A and B are shown apart, each in its own frame.
Chain A
Amino acid sequence: MTPQTTKSTYWQGVRAGAPFILVLVPFALLFGVVATEAGFTVIETFAYSALVVAGAAQFTAVQLLSEHAPTLIIIATALAVNLRMAMYSASLTPHLGRAPLGKRALVAYLMVDQAYASAILEYERHPEWTVPQKLAFYFGAVTPLFPLWLTFTVVGAMVGNAIPPEFALDFAVPITFLAMIAPMLRTGAHVVAALVSITVSLALAFVPYSMGLLVAGAAGMIAGAQVELWMVRRGAVT
């Protein structure tokens, strides 16, 4: 096999990222629509997509802002949704840890679920790739995604106000979240974490300012981790 160049790994990345356009465009549109429904201007909506770059955390922040939760609680909760990014960061470190600092910062800024998932899969398949080849693949994977994420957020924000209430857009956020959660329920531990989270959240719904959600999140994480340990001990998971 001929050795691969950084140019060829870049285009491999583009091809790996491209199918996710189908998921990302409607998701970006929806964020634009939901944020303007909550009272965001087009500029504010764009700024969220450009600076936070994380759909689930952005939806969480908009939802809690419209519930008038205190800003610190909103930031803490939305960051908890984004904690998985720390995991991605940790798992990319053995591959990209020796890249120049500026490039690592750019990788961090552009880190989204789809880019991470495509990259880690290929890195494990191609241990012979050099750091520049790995970087090229990563930047290739985000090339079709990031510009469209920004563009369609703005499109959604501009058409958002034109959508009448009969369309029940209030329920776009729960449907989007549920659609994201279901494919994540890969093991029994994930299911238990989700069920504990739901139970605690509903039981603590009377607690003001969505603080019950932070407790529910912590309880769910502990439950998931404990079930995983128990499954490992039983030999159900390797």
Chain B
Amino acid sequence: MRDVATLDIWIVLIGLGLGSFALRFVFLGIIGDRPMPPWVLRHLRYTAVAVLPGLVAPMVMWPPATGGTLDAPRLIAAAVTIIAGLVTRNVLAAILSGAAALYIMLYLLG
């Protein structure tokens, strides 16, 4: 079964592919050695931490797999992932800790 339209997949792919390349190429390819205004750099520094948490928060609070109700195993797994990531500063260690927490909690509570 397919729940995403093929056309949408390809439109997003083309837009995102071209856009991502443009973002990577813009300074290196076009601007050259000219410096950027500090206020631009200051905002660019926070893009990843400003976008990703906002994307993830609703998935944690209202997971589609449980019909959108708050779910203890998933909430605990999310907390464990964040703590492991803060402590180890290692993406892979955080993913593995979160997955382990999710499976243990689903086994105990599910």
Could you list which residues of chain A lie within 8 angstroms of chain B, going by C-beta atoms?
22-23, 26-27, 38-40, 44, 47-48, 51-54, 56-57, 60-61, 63, 65-66, 68, 71-72, 74-75, 77-90, 92-94, 96-97, 101, 104-105, 107-109, 111, 168, 170-185, 189-190, 193-198, 200-202, 205, 212-213, 216-225, 228-229
Contact = CB atoms under 8 A, between A and B. Distances in A.
Residue among B2, B39, B49 having the largest count of chain A Cβ atoms under 10 Å: B49
A96 B20 CA distance: 19
12 contacts: A65-B9, A79-B16, A81-B47, A83-B48, A88-B24, A89-B23, A93-B27, A168-B65, A179-B98, A221-B50, A224-B46, A224-B49
A173 to B, nearest CB: 7
Contacts of B44: 83-84, 86-87, 90
Contacts of A184: 48-49
A85 B29 CA distance: 13
Contacts of B63: 170-171, 174
Interface in B55-96: 55-65, 73-74, 77-78, 81-86, 88-92, 94-95
B41 interface: yes
B46 to A, nearest CB: 3
A177 B13 CA distance: 20
Interface in B4-42: 4, 6, 8-13, 15-17, 19-21, 23-29, 31-33, 36, 39, 41-42
Given A176-B95, A202-B57, A96 B28 contact: yes
B86 A179 contact: no
A71 B12 contact: yes
A17 to B, nearest CB: 15
* Secondary structure call for the A interface: helix
Contact of A61 (B16, B24, B106): B16
Interface of B: 1-4, 6, 8-13, 15-17, 19-21, 23-29, 31-33, 36, 39, 41-65, 73-74, 77-78, 81-86, 88-92, 94-95, 98-99, 102-103, 106
Given A181-B49, A224-B49, 14 more contacts: A40-B9, A52-B16, A52-B17, A71-B11, A93-B32, A168-B65, A168-B74, A179-B81, A182-B83, A182-B84, A194-B49, A217-B50, A224-B45, A224-B50
Contact of A217 (B47, B77, B90): B47
A81 B93 CA distance: 22
B56 to A, nearest CB: 5
Contact of B52 (A181, A189, A205, A222): A181
A33 B41 CA distance: 35
Given A61-B12, A77-B51, A171-B102, A111 B24 contact: yes
Nearest to A62: B4
A176 B85 CA distance: 10
B24 A56 contact: no
Top 9 nearest A-B pairs (CB, nearest first) are A182-B85, A220-B50, A224-B46, A201-B54, A179-B94, A216-B54, A51-B17, A83-B47, A197-B54
B29 A105 contact: yes
B52 A86 contact: no
Contact of A175 (B31, B32, B49, B99): B99
A218 B36 CA distance: 20
